[in-house]
Amino acid sequence: MTVEEGVSLKPYNTFGLDVRARYFAEANDDQQVLEALSFARARGIPLLLLGGGSNLLFSRDPDGLVLRMASRGIRVLEDDGRRALIEAEAGEPWHPFVQFTLARGFAGLENLSLIPGTVGAAPVQNIGAYGVELKDAFSGLDALDRSDGRLVAFDAEACAFGYRDSLFKREPERWVILRVRFALDRQAPLQLDYGPLRHWLAERRIAAPSALDVSHAVCAIRQEKLPDPSVLGNAGSFFKNPLVSADAATRLRECYADLVAYPVADGQVKLAAGWLIERAGWKGFRDGDAGVHQNQALVLVNHGQASAADILGLAQRIQADVQARFGVALEMEPNLV
């Protein structure tokens, strides 16, 4: 493992923030992860894991070792002609991995197409889009326990998945995810409940879509609404869709007939954070180089030279305004480092 000093992390975070790592290394296998843990422990410095950098907001230069997970490899562990167990290393880019599964005829991950990031980071947030979450196709993963170096196999229950949540998000300094396994099915039913998804397919007269058709639709919708991080710095959806009680949703609907809301488990209702922000007038707003995307109010962007403080300040203004207008608290989705 090669350790460098004073490395700019601008190429490694999708907000394009030019912070510098005191120490920086890449891990291409399990042994290099262990070497990184030993390096940090010997110097008494923190270790920060980095995947695709698509869900991070750096507030300052990291004073420790930044370890980029760069391990690669995809393996079909089982395949009976219909169902398969597929394993991918943590450093595999997420979208190409999804395309790998679709090219072999497997359904299950198509709604999660074009999400930035890596396979290893995906379980941390329990990534989700268009009615599907990672946990729906999840089989297991291997993670390293930083406290004692043990290799631990996790099933779905042990991961304690929630909405954009997991054990690994709640214990960020304990676990290093090394590889993830997915149970996929060539005949799995497609999830087409999302309105724009059905509309895109209907416009093209695709009455019996395949998983690949759904992936194409998802990619087209995302590209239309969401900015390319390589062109305009962003971390995708900046706020989680808030959960409120059914009574609270009813009161809001009495004031706002066009409220976008979906019933979920336990009698709660999920509100569309993007609708709340747009209804409050923030869509397309810009203050210096920190702004709200003109096509999707849920996305905060860096127009070039915004600092983390600029972006965080804008986020806090939006949170305060939405709370004052609607009585709804918005929670940030990116991790603040």
Active site residues: 164, 237, 333
Instruction: Name the DSSP class of 188.
Output: P
Helix (H) or strand (E) holding 145: strand 138-145
Contact present, 276 and 328 (Cβ < 8 Å)? yes
Cβ count within 10 A of residue 205: 6
- Reading the block at residue 320, the tokens are 């305060």
Cβ count within 10 A of residue 324: 10
Query: What's the CA gap between 63 and 41, in Å, rounded?
Result: 14
Query: What's the CA gap between 189 and 131, in Å, rounded?
Result: 13
Query: What's the CA gap between 314 and 123, in Å, rounded?
Result: 28
Phi-psi bin for 106: left (phi > 0), alpha (psi -120 to 50), beta? beta
Contact present, 119 and 101 (Cβ < 8 Å)? no
Query: What's the CA gap between 136 and 300, in Å, rounded?
Result: 28
Query: What's the CA gap between 280 and 214, in Å, rounded?
Result: 32
Contact present, 121 and 143 (Cβ < 8 Å)? no
